[in-house]
Amino acid sequence: MKQKAYAAAGVDIDLGNQVKSTLPQLLASTHRREVLGKVGGFGGLFALNVKKHRQPVLVSSVDGVGTKLKIAFAMDRHDTIGEDLVNHCVNDIAVLGAEPLFFLDYLGTGKLEPHVFKEIIAGFARGCAANNCALIGGETAQMPGFYQAGEYDVSGTIVGVVDKTRMLNGQKTVKRGDVLIGIKASGLHTNGYSLARKIFFETLKLKPKSKVAELGNTIGDELLKVHVTYGPLVQKLVKKFNKVGQADTVKSFAHITGGGFVDNLPRVLPAKLDAVVRKGTWDMLPIFRMIQAKGGVDEAELYQVFNMGIGMVAIVSADQANAALKFIRGEKHDAWFIGEITQGTGICRVE
């Protein structure tokens, strides 16, 4: 049978349709009753339950996973990338107290490889199922000549909802004396990979599949550890500690992504208060101890590039800080008191 002209040019529509035919099974675990229609329509349909909130506010975010993809390519491991992306997006809207509703993905590649596609989508499905978030649509683009062989890019958009009266706004609620609770990360999550790749693969001359004694792992597998989702934890914390008609105990959250502590904590601070993060107050992950000891990077910069083992910071009132910390640990998240709120000019100081 003669090959179709478009396929000969690098875009195999029939293969794309064949691969996409597996989507209903892959996405079954992400279904919510508000989802209407089937996967594959021109638009995803979601019937928002407006009765659940008195003043529903939609919250959205879009992101990618950056050069962490380079590690996936090198390891030929694609089962974690989709989950990373969902969890990152969930965390970004969780800081406002929002519940995730649905997720949309974009995958662009030069040549569609069925096993890679299935691994990525399976990761999306795992992430969405864990966060009770529906995967209602996406786009898979075959663009020959645009990407290097074996490479692709992914991005995702999440939409969630929060009642306007329950929205977290640290710029209005954070007070002097509030306590910072740092919640453990699994590793680099999805930020700092350009610098990490330079340290590990250029400075230290490691290969992605090099075994590293300090890590008990290959460096590639260590760098592919899945970005933790804090969404369900945030929802439980807010429900338990922030009672209607009372002053909030849980004031705000900061997702420690690109920019580390230095750039992310100020986003939730009033103009005349500082967040002071105390080094040495948490158990630093081995990969960060390795970066610190062998990376040749100024320590101050490390706390602006990497999360340094803290993926999310909760700002809570001092009188309930012990109860909040105990609750977080009870939810199987390691956490520590890592600092406090002081008078200042709206910055984060790492001391």
The residue ranges of every structural domain in the chain are 5-165, 170-350
Looking at CATH, the fold of the domain delimited by 5-165 is given as: 60s Ribosomal Protein L30; Chain: A; (3.30.1330)
Residue 217 has pLDDT above 70, yes or no: yes
Neighbours of 300 (CB within 10 A): 9
Lowest pLDDT segment from 21-30, 137-146, 227-236:
21-30
Q: How confident is the model at residue 12 (pLDDT cuts 50, 70, 90)?
A: low
Q: Report the sign of the C-alpha dihedral through residues 211, 213, 214, 216, in that order.
A: positive
For the stretch 182-194, pLDDT in tens is 999 999 999 999 9
**170-350 under CATH 3.90.650.10, yes or no:** yes
- Checking if the pLDDT of 312 tops 60, the result is yes
What gap in Å lies between CA 250 and CA 319, rounded to an integer? 11
| Neighbouring C-beta atoms of residue 225, cutoff 10 Å | 17
> Taking each helix axis from N to C terminus, what angle separates 231-241 and 81-94, rounded to the nearest 10 degrees?
20
Residue 287: what pLDDT?
A: 95
The pLDDT of residue 237: 96
pLDDT in the model for residue 139: 87
Q: 265 near 348, Cβ under 8 Å? A: yes
Residue 265's φ and ψ, nearest 5 degrees, are: -65, -40
Over residues 200-216, mean pLDDT = 94
Q: For the ranges 19-28, 149-158, 316-325, which has the lowest average pLDDT?
A: 19-28
